[in-house]
Chain A
Amino acid sequence: MVHEWALAESIILYIKQQGYVNIKKLRVCIGVLQSIDKEILNYALRELAEEYGVKLDKVELVDEYPLLKCNVCGFMWSINPSEISDDVREAIHFIPEAIYAYYKCPRCGSLDYSIVKGRGISEISVDVHE
């Protein structure tokens, strides 16, 4: 089982800590930059929910596309992970900030840019049973 398991465990621990144990729908936004395998994440969420005593009916995993912004020239751009070489994509998969070792602002060449969105897991929300 790959490292999606660790991400899933963080999510389940979080929703349990918030006091939600009977969930109609769990919605998680996933940054495309991290190339998370949604099938595996879905499986891990369900397995871990059972392990932690959380009833989980439906899981919705929503893609969030990457948007980067240069803090020097203000340029905004996106990166399609499928166009990144396998080894760099794998590095970003584990630690998205590894991107700063490989990419600069395409306009001014600065390393001082921000990942505005689409980095990794960004939003977790739940609908609960009454």
Chain B
Amino acid sequence: MMFMSDPRLLRALKTLSKIKRVYLVLSSKGGVGKSTIATLIAFYASSRGVPSGLLDLDFVNPSTHVILGLRVEDIKYIEEKGVIPHRIGLLSYFTIVAYTRDLPLALSGENARNALRELLSIVNWDNLELLLIDTPPGISDEQLELIYALRGVIKPLLITTPSRLAWHSVSKLIELLRGAGYEELYLVENMGNGELRYLVEKQGVKYLGYVPYIKQIEDSIGDLNKLLQLNVRANIDELVSKLLV
């Protein structure tokens, strides 16, 4: 058994290891639609009858509650041997904004690490088939903490756009993940048309598919019914199916 220096990580690993599939949604480049894709995958999976979870670990700019149309006061957790996430149908959802009232939260590296460990160790995810963990953009303390501390229970799901700058940045993330021992890597091309497939597969990363850019997403943010009727639903449903294999 891997020895952990922090007791909280042991419970975090114990809790997460009960979930069939845990994907750590990463992108070293900001603005690629990571939170939107993570939210849609988790929400669509739950709407298909799959018990799913969404954990927003972007402490500085949490946005998944905005996508789901939740006001801070609507988010309710239950205390039971830890904290049971908010429920939207079959979707279990947790975000720090319920504790911060969505006020600005600037955390330095050590504080972010502590908040991550605390949160991962107290949230109880019961009987989920699929958990998406949304992370802040970049490769810094939070990502490193998750990448190294949760090895063995998470699979990295990379999000990028076809932009050369985004791909350049994500290529470095792929290298970092390989160095950390991750063999299975997954990637979604957002706001694209499939043009990255060749480059991604050449790097030995599993290309799950693409989601084309549509303006309709912006207009649907905050409205669950509209989110269910997006023109890209078929694309996201295909991603869900591949992630559930």
Contacts of A1 in B (CB 8 A): 79-81
Contact of A97 among B10, B14, B79, B111 (CB under 8 A): B111
Tell me the B75-116 residues at the A interface (CB within 8 Å).
79-83, 96, 99-101, 103-108, 110-112, 114-115
The answer to whether residues A6 and B124 also contact, given A11-B7, A17-B10 and a CB cut-off of 8 A, is yes
The answer to whether residues A3 and B82 also contact, given A97-B114, A101-B105 and a CB cut-off of 8 A, is yes
- Whether B119 is near chain A, meaning CB under 8 Å from some CB there, is yes
Contact of A6 among B83, B99, B104 (CB under 8 A): B83
| Interface size range on B against A | 20 to 34
- Whether B122 is near chain A, meaning CB under 8 Å from some CB there, is yes
- Whether B197 is near chain A, meaning CB under 8 Å from some CB there, is no
Contacts of B96 in A (CB 8 A): 95, 98
For chain A, the count of residues having a C-beta within 8 Å of the partner chain is 30
In the complex, the chain A residue whose C-beta lies closest to that of B100 is: A101
For chains A and B in complex, what number of residue pairs have CB atoms within 8 angstroms?
91
**Inter-subunit contact A124/B83 (CB<8 Å):** no
Contact mask A1-24 → B, CB, 8 Å, 1/0? Answer: 111011101110110010000000
- Whether B8 is near chain A, meaning CB under 8 Å from some CB there, is yes
Contact mask A97-125 → B, CB, 8 Å, 1/0? Answer: 11011100000000110110001110010
Contact of B10 among A14, A95, A101, A115 (CB under 8 A): A14
- Whether B118 is near chain A, meaning CB under 8 Å from some CB there, is yes
A64 to B110, CA, bound (A): 19
Contacts of A101 in B (CB 8 A): 99-101, 103-105
- Whether A96 is near chain B, meaning CB under 8 Å from some CB there, is yes
- Whether B4 is near chain A, meaning CB under 8 Å from some CB there, is yes
Contacts of A13 in B (CB 8 A): 7, 10-11, 14
Given contacts A1-B81, A98-B100, A102-B103, could you give 4 more A-B pairs where the C-beta distance is less than 8 Å? A6-B83, A95-B118, A100-B105, A114-B111
Binding site for B on A (CB under 8 A): 1-3, 5-7, 9-11, 13-14, 17, 71, 91, 94-98, 100-102, 111-112, 114-115, 119-121, 124
